[in-house]
Amino acid sequence: MIKFIIEVNFESFDIVTYDNAVAGILPKWSDDDREEFENDIADCTSSGDCEEALKYILNSYDIKWACNDNLDETMRKNCEYIYSDGLENEPEKFDDIDTCKLYALWDAASSYFYNKEELGG
């Protein structure tokens, strides 16, 4: 199973993979693993409904959620900050941690995918 980390920081979610981690934290990926990961992350950033792609990653990958504070509370606050549009109609939207994980993964996948593209990856 492919393993990666999502760092939960103040107002951001960041993906850490074998390629950008401190040596020894994550196992080395095969070329097939890397290609699979890149394709799955790309599916999470497509326009339109990508909920199934996000759920696939959440259910199929070994994800470690890393945070220096209370993980659930920090995730909720980050989601409320990042996705504040529309919360007037759904103030309880991020009460469920599974919903937070979907939005956190979507944000982290988008950042990872588009930052990689900007760097010529």
- pLDDT confidence bin for 119, thresholds 50/70/90: very low
Q: How many angstroms separate the Cα of 119 from the Cα of each of 7, 47, 112, 114, 115?
A: 20, 21, 11, 9, 6
Residues ≥6 apart with Cβ < 8 Å to 66: 5, 6, 7, 8, 16
pLDDT at 20: 74
- 49 has pLDDT over 90: no
Higher pLDDT, 114 or 57: 57
- pLDDT over 70 percentage in the chain: 93
Rounded to the nearest 5 degrees, what angle is found at the Cα of 110, between the Cα atoms of 93 and 120?
170
Number of domains in the chain: 1
User: Residue 42 is part of which domain span?
Assistant: 3-118
